[in-house]
Chains A and B, each alone.
Chain A
Amino acid sequence: MTPDLSVDIGGLAMRTPVMMASGTFGYGEEYEGLTDLSGLGAIVLKGITLTEWRGNRPPRICETPAGMLNAVGLQNVGLPALLSEKLPHLSGTDVPIIINVNGRTVDEYVRLAEALDAVAQVAAIELNASCPNVSHGGMHFGTDPDTLRGLTAAVRARTDKPLIVKLSPNVTDVTATAGAAVAGGADGLSLINSVLGMAVDVEKRRPRLGNITGGLTGPAIKPIAVRMVWQVARAVDVPIVGQGGIMTAQDAVEFLLAGASAVGIGSATFVDPTAALSVTEGIRDYMEVNGFSSIGDLNRVGESW
């Protein structure tokens, strides 16, 4: 029997459970010719703000053991250029496009959601309340449950599109923020965003990042991400997009068994632009070999742990 890889994330229908995580796939166009976009489950574009943001002072990247720190600071083209240039460029693809929204205030998130709600090409909205690299907004919104519930509810009121809230791992109890997002009206949750970290150059005796601190991603954070997905899957009743350090299909299956309905591929794309396609094929093989007919069947395994 051919396994069914399709999933539904709160109304967002995906042919495969593998999506490109925000911030690691640009606006999609950067990877044309390097990978087959049509083989992807969904693409989450680089986080967007109402107007263009210039981002943080370099250096923004620092490699660490089995991972990397980044402190890009949401440099992006802004909503007008997203609508006039970036989305039209992707009009030929039938892969769902998800827009990751960011703001300094609740009002900025709301205005983005309103504008995107009117765009047919936008399949879903990912509310980024967890960027660790901006001084206003970002993670500030995502670490306090009451604040996150209020933000989610405000955005929910302005859009009928599937609303996915991206959660920060930089909290003591992720089930509290997860519950708050669901209470605010989230259709799905994605986790985890990057783990707040820092590295110091002992020769130059200063931080390696211009922003001093940054977000850790890559295989180093995978066990944290799997644990949080498992905790959240037991605590809430909405679909979860699991992400954090997935390099291989085995990594992805860990998340699916722990309760994630879909997975996000991030840093792995930097290493191999076709990583998401290999992960997808590997999930299919795993399901065939082990007799799983749907992603839901995989999800049920972790329910008894």
Chain B
Amino acid sequence: MFGDVVSVSHPAATFTRMKVNAPELARARPGQFLTVRCGSGVMPLLRRPLGVFSTDEGRGEIEMLFKTVGEGTRWLAERRPGDRVDLLGPIGAPFEPPTPPGRAVLVAGGVGVATMYPLAKALLEAGWSVGVLLGAATSAELLCRDELTQMGATVEAATEDGSAGTRGLVTDLLPSRLPGADIVFACGPWGMMATVAEMTSKAGVPCQVSLEQRMACGTGACMGCVVPIRGETGVDYKRVCREGPVFPAETVAWEDVE
């Protein structure tokens, strides 16, 4: 489906927030994603998977928050209001918060906040108490801090250079938040999520993670975007675009992928 770009802003040098008119995508639930074709040629060839940052079903609009990491996202970041983009979605299985509402801790590493933000919003609306741990390299890349706070979440931050919040990794903030937590949700680099999985497992707190993988079709057809998931008979390869992107952290064979 095609959508018209409504607005574009750049909250940090390499980050873009883009609002698009795409009614079919506005029903996306937290954790689901879309794919976007970057350009009309064959370089880059493949569609890019991006999280759905926010939705407005009334207006039929969705928003994406993404980091420029290569030629595809660079092309997308250069779109302007009125430009048309080719989107497919919503894709994948959403986060499944348990009932009844309780205390949730959300861990977002880098651009992982794009996935954690809509979940925080949905949890707060459902009556959850939400703590968000934000991690970034520098204060400039620490996004959505004020919005999450205004929304009602308790936000703590860590930056690798110490320019905002605690100096260090976002996972350093997690242990003190685990007592009393009913569930943890995480999205970020593989190593960060592996650490979160280990910490929550030791503390006996359930955890759901949103995983990324190199993707070709985004429809479940090509079996390309798999991650190692433990099943009853050993490790199986499950698709991020179909069975995922959200998986229970304890089922992921973290050591199986670098």
The yes or no answer to B155 lying at the interface (CB within 8 A) is no
Most chain A beta-carbon neighbours within 10 Å: one of B220, B225, B226: B226
CB distance from A29 to the nearest CB of B (A): 9
Of A31, A68, A247, the contact of B216 (CB 8 Å cutoff): A68
Contact B42 A247 (CB under 8 A): yes
Q: Among residues 1 to 59 in chain A, which have CB atoms less than 8 Å away from a CB atom of chain B? A: 23-26, 30-31, 34, 46, 54-55, 57-59
Contact A46 B221 (CB under 8 A): yes
CB distance from B234 to the nearest CB of A (A): 9
Contact B224 A26 (CB under 8 A): no
Render B231-258 as a binary contact track against A, CB cut-off 8 A, 1 for contact: 0000011000000000000000000111
Contact A54 B217 (CB under 8 A): no
Contact A273 B219 (CB under 8 A): yes
Contact A55 B45 (CB under 8 A): no
The yes or no answer to B227 lying at the interface (CB within 8 A) is yes
The yes or no answer to A267 lying at the interface (CB within 8 A) is yes
Contact B221 A24 (CB under 8 A): yes
Contact B216 A70 (CB under 8 A): yes
Bound: A267/B45 CA distance, A:
9
Bound: A59/B222 CA distance, A:
13
Contact A58 B45 (CB under 8 A): no
Residues of chain A within 8 A (CB-CB) of B215 are: 61
Contact of A272 with B37 at beta-carbon distance under 8 Å, contacts A25-B221, A58-B226, A61-B214 already known: yes
Residues of chain B within 8 A (CB-CB) of A267 are: 45, 216
Bound: A13/B219 CA distance, A:
28
Chain A, residue nearest B241 (CB): A30
The secondary-structure label for the interface of chain B is loop
Contact B236 A270 (CB under 8 A): no
The yes or no answer to A271 lying at the interface (CB within 8 A) is yes
Bound: A273/B218 CA distance, A:
10
Contact B237 A61 (CB under 8 A): no
Contact A66 B221 (CB under 8 A): no
The yes or no answer to B97 lying at the interface (CB within 8 A) is no
Q: Range of interface residues on chain A? A: 35 or more
Contact of A54 with B236 at beta-carbon distance under 8 Å, contacts A24-B221, A61-B214, A271-B37 already known: yes
Bound: A55/B221 CA distance, A:
14
Residues of chain A within 8 A (CB-CB) of B43 are: 65-66
Contact of A26 with B220 at beta-carbon distance under 8 Å, contacts A75-B237, A218-B42 already known: yes
Bound: A25/B225 CA distance, A:
15
Of B47, B219, B220, B224, the contact of A60 (CB 8 Å cutoff): B224
Contact of A72 with B222 at beta-carbon distance under 8 Å, contacts A247-B42, A270-B46 already known: yes
The secondary-structure label for the interface of chain A is loop
The yes or no answer to B9 lying at the interface (CB within 8 A) is no
Q: Among residues 217 to 253 in chain A, which have CB atoms less than 8 Å away from a CB atom of chain B? A: 218-219, 247
The yes or no answer to A122 lying at the interface (CB within 8 A) is no
Contact A54 B46 (CB under 8 A): no
Q: Among residues 92 to 138 in chain A, which have CB atoms less than 8 Å away from a CB atom of chain B? A: none
Chain A, residue nearest B86 (CB): A272
Bound: A31/B219 CA distance, A:
7
Contact A26 B237 (CB under 8 A): no
The yes or no answer to A90 lying at the interface (CB within 8 A) is no
CB distance from B153 to the nearest CB of A (A): 33
The yes or no answer to A63 lying at the interface (CB within 8 A) is yes
Residues of chain A within 8 A (CB-CB) of B217 are: 24, 26, 30, 269-270
Render A73-87 as a binary contact track against B, CB cut-off 8 A, 1 for contact: 001100000000000
Contact B214 A60 (CB under 8 A): yes
Bound: A62/B215 CA distance, A:
8
Of A61, A66, A247, the contact of B224 (CB 8 Å cutoff): A61
The yes or no answer to A67 lying at the interface (CB within 8 A) is yes
Bound: A42/B211 CA distance, A:
35
Residues of chain A within 8 A (CB-CB) of B47 are: 270-271
Residues of chain A within 8 A (CB-CB) of B86 are: 272
Contact A26 B222 (CB under 8 A): yes
Q: Can you report 21 residue pairs joining A to B where beta carbons are below 8 Å apart?
A: A23-B222, A24-B222, A26-B219, A54-B237, A58-B214, A58-B227, A60-B224, A60-B226, A61-B46, A61-B213, A61-B214, A61-B215, A61-B224, A61-B225, A65-B43, A68-B46, A76-B223, A204-B258, A206-B258, A270-B221, A271-B37
